[in-house]
Amino acid sequence: MSNDDKTKLEIQWEVFHDKNPHVYELIKKFTYEVIKAGRKSYSINAIFERVRWHTNIETSGAEFKISNNHRAYYARLFLKEHPQYPNFFKTKELRNDT
């Protein structure tokens, strides 16, 4: 997909994701914990808040912010990379914000 086909929000997520690969690693870690606990589906919102807790409370350093707009893209990335969990996160159609 070319940048011309991507929305502004998707491009912003890609920039953030490229600069902050540790965020997706935490999303995967916490999602695997939920899967291991026996859940068949879960909320990307809850995972996101756990990442925020971890980065803001459990770790030290500069304050770290994650846009809520990135949730949908992280959920889709996880589902794409883990086809064995096709319905783990519910997704809605992305809005066109170009």
pLDDT in tens, 13-54: 999 999 999 999 999 999 999 999 999 999 999 999 999 988
Q: Which residue has the tokens 């491009």?
A: 11
> What is the spatial distance between Cα 63 and Cα 27, in angstroms, rounded to a whole number?
18
> What is the spatial distance between Cα 14 and Cα 21, in angstroms, rounded to a whole number?
10
Q: Give domain limits for the chain.
A: 3-81
Helix, strand or coil, per DSSP, at residue 89: strand
Look up the pTM and report it.
0.86
